[in-house]
A and B are shown apart, each in its own frame.
Chain A
Amino acid sequence: MLSLLSLAGVCAASIAAAGHRAPAAYALTAAALLLLAIGVAFRLPLFVPWAVAFAGADYVLTRTGGDVVDGWAAVAGAALLLSAELGFWSATDDPPLRVERPVAVRRAVTIAALVLTGLLVGFLLLGAAAITASSGVVVAAAGVAAATTSISVVLRLLR
C-alpha cells in the first residue's frame, strides 16, 4: 500500500505539472499504478520495475521542454526507489515463511537509509548540475561513465 502511495505521489506531481500533456500523463500514471498493483497482488516482482519506469517516464514527459532544472527530481527519485523497494518486498514476500521481527525492522531501516541517502545524493547531483551547467563536457563525461558502469553491470549479470 505504501508502495502504491509513493508511486501515486510521484504520478500526482507529474499530472499537476503536465499542462497540455495531461492525457499522456494520465495514461502513464494509470499504467504505472496498474502494473504495480498487479505485481504486488499477484506477487510478480518483474512488474515492479516496469511500474517504476512508467512513473519515471511520466515525470520526465511532464518536464520536457522546460529550461529550469526541477529541484523536486531528487524527491521523485527517492520516492520511486521507496516505491520499488516496498513493491519488491511485497511481491517477493512468501506467505508460509514467517519473518522474524528483527529481520523486518532491519529491512525497513535499510530501505529508509537508502531512500534518505538517495535523496541526499539526488540533491547534490542537481546542485552540481546547476553549478556546472555551463561546463557541459564534465557532466557529459560523468554521465557516460555512469551509463557505461550500469551497462557493464547489466552485461555481467546476463553472462
Chain B
Amino acid sequence: MTRAATSKLACYAALSAVGLLAALVSGRPELVALAAPFLLALAAGLVLAGAPRLSSVVEVADERTIEGAEVDAVIRLTAQARIDRLDVLLQLPRDVELVDGVNPVSLTLAPGEMRELPLRVGVRRWGAQTLGPLLLRATDAVGLVTWEGRADGAPPVRVYPREDVLRRVLQPRETQLFAGNEVSRRKGEGIEFADLRPWAAGDALKRVNWRASARRGELWVNESHPERNTDVVLFVDSFAEARRGGSGTLELAVRATAALVDAYVGRRDRVGLVAYGGVLRWLVPGSGLVQLYRIVDALIDTEIVLSYYWRELDVLPRRTLPPSALVIALSPLLDERSVGALLDLRARGFDLVVLDVTPVPFTERPRGLDGVAFDIWTMRRDALRHRLQEAGVAVAEWPPDGRLQETLEEVRAFRRYARLARG
C-alpha cells in the first residue's frame, strides 16, 4: 500500500511551527500553549501510525447469470494488526448497480479480525462484468497518514443476454446433408409427401402407393421430402453503433443474435458466428448445446472497437461461411465497410438476410440546417436498404421497441414475394 501524508499533517505542522516561532520571537508563553495541542496531536499521530497489514478477497456467488438478474458478492477482509479506519470501495462497472449492501464503507478492524461485507448487485447489461478492483484506504487514529492500495476484484461475471422466444425462424433456401427439422426441397427419405413416380427396381414395397397403382394399372411409389438440417451464419456488425441512454444498437443486435442462436440450435441446425468489426471474430458453424454456449460466450465479449482498417471477408476461414448457408446479418448499416461486406456476401451467392437494427430512434432530429442533414441521412439509409433489396437481399428494419418475431415475419414475407416474382 502507498503511504501518504494528509493535508491535516502539513497544516498541524505548519500551525505548530508558526506558533512556536512566534512565541520565540515575541517571548509570550501563551503562544506555546496555543501551539502545544497541535504539536501533541502531531506527535501522537506519527507515533501511533503503523502500516496496515490486511488481506482482502472479493467473491461472487454466480460467475454466470442472465441480464437483469441479481448477483451476490462478498468482500472478505482480514487484518493482522489494528486498523483504526479502513475505507473500502468496490468499483462497479457502469452497467452494474448496487441493490443491497453498503459500498463504499468505512470500518475499523481489530487485530486478527475477519469481516465480511455482503453485497448484492444487479446487472443491467450483458457482457463480461468485473466487480472491482477493490480500493482500500487505511487511516491512522489521528488522521495524519493514509495508506492507499488496490486489490483485485472478483473474477468476471459472464452475463448472458436475455433472449426473446421465437415461435418461427427464417428457413434457408437450401438444406444440408444431415437430419434436422427443415423439410428439404429435394426428394428422398422423409415424412412429407412430395410426388408420385413409377416404381423402379430397388424401391421398397412400403413406398408403393396402392391406390395410385390400382388406378394406373402399374406400380407407382410415393416420393417424399427428407428432413434436413441447415447452416445458419449470424453476422454481427460491430463496426459502429448508435447509443442513447442505457441502450444501443449493438445491445439489440446481440440480444437478437442470442435469440436466433437459441432457436436454430433447438432445430438441430448448425449455427456459426461472424462478429465483423474493429476486431474480427468468428466461430465455425456447429450444432448442439455446446455450440449455443460457445456462441453466447463469444457474443458477450462483442464490443465496438474503433478501427480504420478495411478488412475484407477473404480473411475468414472457408469453413466459417459454408456454401448454401443462410446468412443473417444484424447491422445498423452505419459503416461503409460492413455494407460492402454484405454486398460482397450477396455477390458470392449466399442467401442473405439483413436485420437493420435501425439507429434512427437513438438519435434526435436537430433543428435548423442540421435537421435537413438529418433528413438527408435518413433518406440515404432508405436508399441503401433499397439497394440491398435490389441485390436480392431481404432487409427489414427492426426498431428498438419492436419485437424480433415481427421483423422476422416481415423478412419472411419479402422472401416469399421475391421468390414468386422470380418464378
Could you list which residues of chain A lie within 8 angstroms of chain B, going by C-beta atoms? 45-46, 48-49, 52-53, 56, 59-60, 63-64, 69-70, 73-74, 76-78, 80-81, 84-85, 88, 92, 94, 96-100, 102-103, 106-107, 110, 114-115, 117-119, 121-122, 125-126, 129-130, 136, 139-140, 143-144, 146-147, 150-151, 153-154, 157
B36 within 8 A of A: yes
**Pairs A–B under 8 Å by Cβ, sample size 30:** A45-B8, A45-B11, A48-B11, A74-B36, A77-B36, A77-B37, A77-B38, A80-B34, A81-B37, A84-B11, A84-B15, A88-B143, A92-B6, A94-B87, A96-B104, A97-B87, A98-B102, A103-B84, A106-B141, A107-B143, A110-B141, A114-B142, A115-B37, A118-B37, A122-B34, A125-B36, A126-B33, A143-B24, A153-B42, A157-B10
- B-chain residues with CB within 8 Å of residue A144 when the two chains form the complex: 24
Given A122-B34, A154-B14: 11 more A-B contacts, CB < 8 Å: A53-B18, A56-B34, A74-B36, A80-B34, A80-B37, A121-B36, A122-B36, A140-B24, A146-B32, A153-B17, A154-B17
B40 within 8 A of A: yes
* Nearest CB in chain A to that of B35: its residue: A77
B19 within 8 A of A: yes
Known A77-B37, A106-B108, A125-B36; judge A143-B143 contact (CB<8 A): no
- B-chain residues with CB within 8 Å of residue A85 when the two chains form the complex: 41
**Highest count of chain A CB atoms <10 Å: which of B41, B84, B143:** B41
- A-chain residues with CB within 8 Å of residue B18 when the two chains form the complex: 53
Could you list which residues of chain B lie within 8 angstroms of chain A, going by C-beta atoms? 5-24, 26-42, 44, 84-85, 87, 89, 102, 104-108, 141-143
- B-chain residues with CB within 8 Å of residue A118 when the two chains form the complex: 36-38, 40-41
Q: Are B106 and A78 in contact (CB under 8 A)?
A: no
Q: Are A122 and B33 in contact (CB under 8 A)?
A: yes
Tell which of A84, A102, A129 touches B38, judged by Cβ atoms closer than 8 Å: A84
Q: Are B108 and A60 in contact (CB under 8 A)?
A: no
Q: Are A150 and B39 in contact (CB under 8 A)?
A: yes
* Nearest CB in chain B to that of A128: its residue: B29
Q: How far is the CA of A97 from the CA of B44 in the complex (A)?
A: 26
The minimal Cβ–Cβ distance linking A4 to chain B, given in whole angstroms, is: 18
Q: Are A46 and B7 in contact (CB under 8 A)?
A: yes
- B-chain residues with CB within 8 Å of residue A81 when the two chains form the complex: 37-38, 41
Known A97-B104, A100-B105; judge A147-B21 contact (CB<8 A): yes
| Residues of A contacting B: mostly | helix
- A-chain residues with CB within 8 Å of residue B5 when the two chains form the complex: 157
Going nearest first, the 7 A-B pairs with the smallest beta carbon separation are A118-B37, A150-B17, A129-B29, A73-B30, A49-B11, A81-B37, A73-B33
Q: Are B107 and A102 in contact (CB under 8 A)?
A: yes
The minimal Cβ–Cβ distance linking B119 to chain A, given in whole angstroms, is: 13
The minimal Cβ–Cβ distance linking A58 to chain B, given in whole angstroms, is: 11
The minimal Cβ–Cβ distance linking B347 to chain A, given in whole angstroms, is: 57
- A-chain residues with CB within 8 Å of residue B12 when the two chains form the complex: 49, 84
Q: Are A107 and B85 in contact (CB under 8 A)?
A: yes
Q: How far is the CA of A150 from the CA of B32 in the complex (A)?
A: 12
Tell which of A53, A126, A139 touches B15, judged by Cβ atoms closer than 8 Å: A53
Q: How far is the CA of A92 from the CA of B104 in the complex (A)?
A: 15
Known A46-B11, A97-B87, A98-B105; judge A114-B20 contact (CB<8 A): no
* Nearest CB in chain A to that of B143: its residue: A88
**Highest count of chain A CB atoms <10 Å: which of B29, B34, B40, B85:** B34
* Nearest CB in chain B to that of A59: its residue: B34
The minimal Cβ–Cβ distance linking B212 to chain A, given in whole angstroms, is: 82
- B-chain residues with CB within 8 Å of residue A115 when the two chains form the complex: 37
The minimal Cβ–Cβ distance linking B55 to chain A, given in whole angstroms, is: 20
